[in-house]
Amino acid sequence: MATCGEVLVKLLEGYGVEHVFGIPGVHTVELYRGLAGSSIRHITPRHEQGAGFMADGYSRTRGKPGVCFIITGPGMTNITTAMGQAYADSIPMLVISSVQSRSQLGGGRGKLHELPNQAALVAGVAAFSQTLMSAADLPQLLARAFAVFDGARPRPVHIEIPLDVLVEPADHLLPARPVRTAPAGAAPHMVAQMAACLAAAQRPLILAGGGALNAGAEIAQLAEHLQAPVALTINAKGLLPASHPLQIGSTQTLPATRELVAEADVVLAIGTELAETDYDVTFKGGFDIPGSLLRIDIDPDQTVRNYLPVLALVADAQQAAHALLMALHGHSQPVRQGAWGSQRAARLREANAATWDAATLSQTALLNAVLHTLPEAILVGDSTQPVYTGNLTLDMPAPRRWFNASTGYGTLGYALPAAIGAWLGSAEAPVVCLIGDGGLQFTLPELASAVEAQVPLIVLLWNNQGYEEIKKYMLNRAIEPVGVDIHTPDFIGVARALGAVAEEVADVAQLQAALQRAQGLRRPTLIQVDQHQWQAAVTS
C-alpha cells in the first residue's frame, strides 16, 4: 500500500525534482518514507532558513524550482525569511510541510508545533499557500504549483499536508502523471504597436531584468537591430555578455547612466520591476524615464507598477522578444541620429569607470582575481562591500553566474546556503560565496552541511570586523554608532572545526594560489580576506 507521502515523492520525481532540502522531524517522517528508494537526493541543512536559501540558489543556477520538506510550526516560521527573498526576486520554490491533523487545525490545544493558521502566516511570501485536505487532490495541487513555475511569475508555493492525510492510502494515485504548462504568448496587436514605436525611435534603450534571463539571445538581436544600449538589473547580469558593445552594465544609480536614460526617446523594459534596489540603491530618488516607456512582463499587475508605460505586453520575455524581432523585420531599418548605440554605450562605460575610487578599485580587483583564476565561476553574494561594488563594476560573460541578496528583500546570511544550492544545481561549476563577517555569522553552521554533502564551495570572507556599511550610514546621518562593532570570532578555527579547509590571504597572488588549491577538493574552503590588509596591498 502506497501512502500519500510516498505518492508525493513519486510525483515529484515525475516533475524532474532532483534534490530536496530539509530537516526530518516527527511531523515529516512520512514524507521521507518514499524518499530513500527514489532518485531524489536529500540535503540536510542546519536550519530551515538554510533549506530555503539552498533551494533558492539551486533554482537560480538550475533554472527549475528548488524543493523543501519542512516541519510544521517552527520549521515554517524559520523558512519564511528565505521564502521572502525568493518571493522578492521571483524565484520558483516548492515548500511542502506538515500541519496538524484535519480535525485539529486551528484548535488551539497546545499540540506540538501548533500554529493558529500556518497557511495564512505563509501566504504573504508565496504565490499561494494551500492545505491538502484529501490525498485524492494531491495531483491537482502539484499541477497547480508547477503551473505557477512554468507559466506565471515564478514565486514560492507552499503546500501543507495534515498528518492524517500524509498516511492516507493512495495506491489509486500511482498512475498520476505530471502536468506541464506553457507560458503566455505575445498578443499580435500589441507586438505590432510596440514594433512600430521602436522602429520610429531615434534613441532607443532597453532595460532588462531577471525575468528575461532566458531571452538573452533574442534581446541581443533586438538591441543590435535597434542599436539600443542595454542596461541590466543585478539579477540579469550576463544576459548580454560583458564583451557586447551595447551592454552598459548595472549602473542605473550613477549620474552618467541616468543621463543616458533621460536621453532615450523610447525605453523598452522587459522582465524588470523597475524597482528601487535595481535603479536607486542610493535611496535618494531621481531615476526618471522621460521617454515613451514600453513594458513586457509575465505578470500583468507588474506592467503598471512603479512607472506607467504607454504600451504594456503581458507575455513570456523570450516569446515577446522573438515576436518583436519578427515584427521589426517588416519595418525599414531605422536611421539613428548622431552617435547613438555602441558609441554612446562606450562613452558611458568610460565615464562611469572614471568615477571609481580606491576602495571600489581594490574590491573590483578581488572579484577580477576570482574570475581570472576561475573563469567559469558562479559568484553568489551576500550584503557586503565587494558585492555592492561588483553590482556596479562587474559584468559577467553569461547569465545565472552573479546573484546576491543585496537587493530586493536584502537578507543577511543568504550567500553561504544559497551557494551550496547553486553548486548542486550548476553541474559542478566552481561556486564562490562572497560574504562579510557579519553576514556569515547568520548562517555559519551551514558550512557543516557543505562538508557533509561534499560540496567544494569556496567561501570568500570579506572581514572588516563588524557591520561596516551600517556604521558608515549611521555616521553619515550624524548618529553615534551603536551595535555595529560586533565580536569577530576566529573564522579560520571555526571553519576547520566544522571540517572545512581554511586560510587567510592578503593580496592578489595569495588569493589566486588559494583558489587554485581549493580546486579538486570534495569539501568547502574558507578564504579570509582582511579588508584593511587587502586594500593596503592592492592600492600600494
Q: How far apart are CA 248 and CA 239, in angstroms?
A: 12
Res. 27: pLDDT tops 80: yes
Res. 336: pLDDT tops 90: no
CATH superfamily of 358-539: Thiamin diphosphate (ThDP)-binding fold, Pyr/PP domains (3.40.50.970)
Calculate mean pLDDT across residues 437-453: 97
Which DSSP string corresponds to 162-209?
EHHHHTSB-GGGTT------PPP---HHHHHHHHHHHHH-SSEEEEE-
Q: How far apart are CA 198 and CA 192, in angstroms?
A: 10
> For the sheet containing 266-270, what is the strand order?
230-232, 204-208, 266-270, 292-297, 311-314
**pLDDT single digits (tens) 110-156:** 787 888 899 999 999 999 999 999 999 999 999 999 999 999 999 99
Cα separations (Å) of 4 from 95, 196, 251?
16, 54, 50
Other beta carbons less than 10 A from residue 409's beta carbon: 17
**pLDDT single digits (tens) 289-309:** 999 999 999 999 999 999 999
Residue 211, all three cell numbers:
525575468
Closest C-alpha among 232, 179, 193 to residue 320: 193
> What's the whole-number average pLDDT of the chain?
94
> Which of the four pLDDT bands, split at 50, 70 and 90, describes residue 184?
confident
**pLDDT single digits (tens) 354-399:** 999 999 999 999 999 999 999 999 999 999 999 999 999 999 999 9
Total residue count of the chain as it appears in this document: 540
Determine the distance from the C-alpha atom of residue 138 to the mean position of all C-alpha atoms in its chain, rounded to a whole number: 28
CA atoms within 13 A on the CB side of 192: 3
Q: How far apart are CA 379 and CA 435, in angstroms?
A: 10
pLDDT value of position 104: 80
Fold for the domain defined by 4-173: Rossmann fold (3.40.50)
Q: Please state, for a pLDDT cut of 90, what percent of the chain lies above it.
A: 84
299 exposure class (CB count in 10 Å sphere: 0-12, 13-18, 19+): middle
Say whether 358-539 and 188-353 share the same fold. yes
CB 223 within 8 A of CB 246: yes
Beta strands in 325-438 (DSSP E): 378-381, 402-404, 431-436
> Which of the four pLDDT bands, split at 50, 70 and 90, describes residue 332?
confident
Q: How far apart are CA 360 and CA 320, in angstroms?
A: 37
Amino acid at 440: L
CB 527 within 8 A of CB 458: yes
Cβ-Cβ contacts under 8 Å for 540 (sequence gap 6 or more): none
Cα separations (Å) of 180 from 2, 143, 477?
24, 7, 52
Cβ-Cβ contacts under 8 Å for 104 (sequence gap 6 or more): 111, 114
Place of cell 571600489: 360
Domain ranges of the chain: 4-173, 188-353, 358-539
**pLDDT single digits (tens) 486-530:** 999 999 999 999 999 999 999 999 999 999 999 989 999 999 999
Q: How far apart are CA 526 and CA 528, in angstroms?
A: 6
Closest C-alpha among 3, 6, 9 to residue 39: 9
Pairwise pLDDT comparison (417 vs 338), residue with the higher score: 417
> Which of the four pLDDT bands, split at 50, 70 and 90, describes residue 434?
very high
Other beta carbons less than 10 A from residue 57's beta carbon: 32
Determine the distance from the C-alpha atom of residue 155 to the mean position of all C-alpha atoms in its chain, rounded to a whole number: 11
Q: Please state, for a pLDDT cut of 70, what percent of the chain lies above it.
A: 98
Res. 281: pLDDT tops 70: no
Cβ-Cβ contacts under 8 Å for 405 (sequence gap 6 or more): 85, 381, 382, 383, 411, 412, 414, 415, 418
Calculate mean pLDDT across residues 426-453: 96
Lowest mean pLDDT across 29-43, 96-110, 172-186, 231-245: 96-110
pLDDT value of position 338: 63
pLDDT value of position 337: 58
pLDDT value of position 276: 86
**CA dihedral of residues 22, 23, 29, 34 (deg, nearest 10):** 40
Could you say which DSSP state residue 236 is in?
G
Calculate mean pLDDT across residues 178-186: 90
Calculate mean pLDDT across residues 165-184: 91
Identify the architecture of domain 188-353 in CATH: 3-Layer(aba) Sandwich (3.40)
CB 219 within 8 A of CB 206: yes
